[in-house]
Structure 1
Amino acid sequence: MKFFYILDGKKIKKWLLIISIAFVTASIFYIQQLASESVFSTDPGPKAIYKVENKKNELALTFDISWGETNALTVLNVLKKHGVKATFFLSASWAERHPRIVKKIVEDGHEIGSMGYEYKNYTELERGKIIRDLAQAKKVFDTLGIKHTPFLRAPTGNFNKNVLKVVHSFGHTVVHWSVDSKDWLNPGVHAIVENVTKNAKSGDIVLLHASDSAKQTASALEQIIIWMKKEGYRGVTISDLVNNAHIKSKEIK
C-alpha cells in the first residue's frame, strides 16, 4: 500500500518562519550568556586586567621590584605611615635574595604578585622556557611561605596570547596597568606626581617601582597619597579592587 502526502505551501512557510525566529532568539540568548562570562576566560580570547569599574573611589597602587633593597624599605615605610595597602609584583630571583623584605611586605598587610623568576621578556622566550621560569618562581615563593600568587605582571610588561595561555595554566591572572607614573625614568618628583594625579580615577591600576633604580618614587609616593586622601581615594590591593567590581580587560591577539 502506498501513502501520499499533500504538502501545504502556506503551512511550510509558517513553520519555517517559526523555526527561524526560535533559532535567532536562541542565538541572541547564547551570545548574551557568553558576554556575561568572567573576563578571566580565554574565550573568545585571553585578556589582561588593566582597570576596573569601581564606584568606591579605590585605586590600586602597584610596585614592581627586581633590584636593590633600599628603596623598597623606604616605600614600605611611607605606605605604613599613611595606612595604605598595595600590591608588590616581585621578581622571584630578587625575592630569593631578600627574604627579609618579602616578610615585611607580607607582615605590613600588602599583597604579593609574581613577575616570574629571571625578569625576562616572555614574548621573546619559547613556551618551555616560560614554563620553567614560572615553575622556578613558584618554587621560590612556596619556600618563602607564599603559597599562592593569583596575579602576575609580565616581566618588562610585554605579553601576547601565547604568554597569557601559559600564565593561565599556572593559575595566574595577568595584571597590567592603566596609569603609568613613569617613575623608572626618574623625571623628577613633581613629574611623577603629575603623571599619577592628572590621570588616575577610581578603579585605576597605577604602575610604580620600588627597585633602587627608581630613586624618586618614595618622595613622590608621599605626595600621591596625600592627594588621594584629599580627593577621597583609598589605596587597596588588586584583590580588593577586583572584588565585586566590573573588570575591564583588553583582548590580546
Structure 2
Amino acid sequence: MLTFGTLLSCSLVSQGASIHGFYKSKIEVAEAKRLLPIYCVDTNGEKKVALTFDAAWGAEDLTQIVEILEKYQVRATFFVVGDWARKYPEEVKLLIQKGHDVANHSNKHPHMNSMSKEEIKKDIMAADASIKEIAGKETKLFRPPYGEYNNTVVEATKECGYYCIQWDVDSLDWKNYGVQPLIDKVVNHKNLRPGSIILMHNGAKYTAQALEAIIKGVQDKGFIFVPVSELLLADEEYSIDFEGRQKSSQPIH
C-alpha cells in the first residue's frame, strides 16, 4: 500500500532526477558551444574596414588589382593557398613589395570540416612554410577554404598560432553577376560598418573591373581601408561575440 510519505519521497526523487537532468543538459550545451572565427572587429566607432582577397586559382588579374589598390593607397589582405604561392612566387613578392598582407588560405584548399585536427594543422603549416620561404615574412592570419569551419578547425588554427578569419561583407564576386551589381553588393551591403571585413577573390570575372568603384564608394561613406593585421585587436585580451565580432576584454578606464 502506498502511503503519503512514499508518494512524497517518489515525487522528490523524480523532481531531483528532473533537476539533475536539466543541469546536465545545460552543461552539455555549454560544452558543445560552437567556436567562432573572427568575422569583424569592434573598432570603438573608428571607421576602419579591411578589404580581403582569396587567391587560389589564377593570377591573370592580379597586376591590375594591385595597380588599382596602389592608385587609391589601399593596403589589402590576400589569403593565398600554398599551391598558389608556389605557382606564382613573383606575384606573392609583388604583394609584399606593395605593402599588402599575405595570409594563409591553406595548402591545398581542402574541405577541412571532414579532416582531423592533426591533418588540418599539417595543411596549415605546409602553407605557412611556403609563404615564409617565398614572401620572407610570417603571417598569423588564416582563412579556412570555402569559409567552412567547425570547432576542430578553429582549435587547430589557434594551436598553430593563427587567428581564424572570416568576413561579414561578402561580395559574392565568384558568381560573376556583372560589374554594377558587384559594386552595389559591396558598397550598399547591410553589414558594412566600422570593423567590417570584406571578401573578394582575384580571378573572378568582374572583380578587377568593379574594384575601383567599390573602393571609391566605400571611401565616400567615410571608411578607411587597413589590412586585417591592423584591424585586429592583436595585442590585448579579447572575446568573440555571437556575431563573430572581436571585442576587447580590457576594462574601460
Answer 1 or 2: higher relative contact order, Cα 8 Å, separation at least 6: 1
Task: Identify the residue that residue 67 of structure 2 maps to in structure 1.
Answer: 77
The answer on 1:190 being equivalent to 2:185 is no
- TM-score, normalised via structure 2 length: 0.76
Identify which of 128, 132, 143 aligns with 2:118. Answer: 128
Which whole-Å CA distance do the structure 1 matches of 2:32 and 2:132 have between them?
Answer: 30
Q: Which has the larger radius of gyration?
A: 1
Which whole-Å CA distance do the structure 1 matches of 2:51 and 2:193 have between them?
Answer: 12
1:64 and 1:90 in contact (8 A); partners too:
yes
Which whole-Å CA distance do the structure 2 matches of 1:126 and 1:248 have between them?
Answer: 24
Which whole-Å CA distance do the structure 1 matches of 2:240 and 2:212 have between them?
Answer: 28
Task: Identify the residue that residue 52 of structure 1 maps to in structure 2.
Answer: 41
- TM-score, normalised via structure 1 length: 0.76
Task: Identify the residue that residue 197 of structure 2 maps to in structure 1.
Answer: 205
Please list the CA deviations of residues 106-153 of structure 1 after superposition, one character each: whole Å capped at 9, or x if unmatched: 111111110110011110223332222122112211211444211100
1:249–1:67 Cα change, 3 Å? farther
2:171 and 2:198 in contact (8 A); partners too:
yes
The answer on 1:215 being equivalent to 2:205 is yes
Please list the CA deviations of residues 186-214 of structure 1 after superposition, one character each: whole Å capped at 9, or x if unmatched: 1111111111111222211111001x2x0
Which whole-Å CA distance do the structure 2 matches of 1:43 and 1:124 have between them?
Answer: 18
1:56-205 alignment to 2 at 5 Å?
56-199=46-189, 200-205=192-197
Q: CA RMSD in A?
A: 2.3
1:52 and 1:203 in contact (8 A); partners too:
yes
Task: Identify the residue that residue 240 of structure 1 maps to in structure 2.
Answer: 230
Task: Identify the residue that residue 36 of structure 1 maps to in structure 2.
Answer: none
1:43–1:170 Cα change, 3 Å? farther
2:37 partner SS: strand
Q: How far has the Cα of 1:154 moved from its partner?
A: 0.2
Which whole-Å CA distance do the structure 1 matches of 2:32 and 2:225 have between them?
Answer: 32
2:34 and 2:150 in contact (8 A); partners too:
no
Percent identity over the alignment? 30
Which whole-Å CA distance do the structure 1 matches of 2:80 and 2:177 have between them?
Answer: 23
1:121 and 1:156 in contact (8 A); partners too:
yes
1:47 partner SS: coil
Which whole-Å CA distance do the structure 2 matches of 1:117 and 1:157 have between them?
Answer: 15
Task: Identify the residue that residue 15 of structure 1 maps to in structure 2.
Answer: none
Instruction: Structure 1: give runs of 5+ residues left out of the alignment.
Output: 1-41
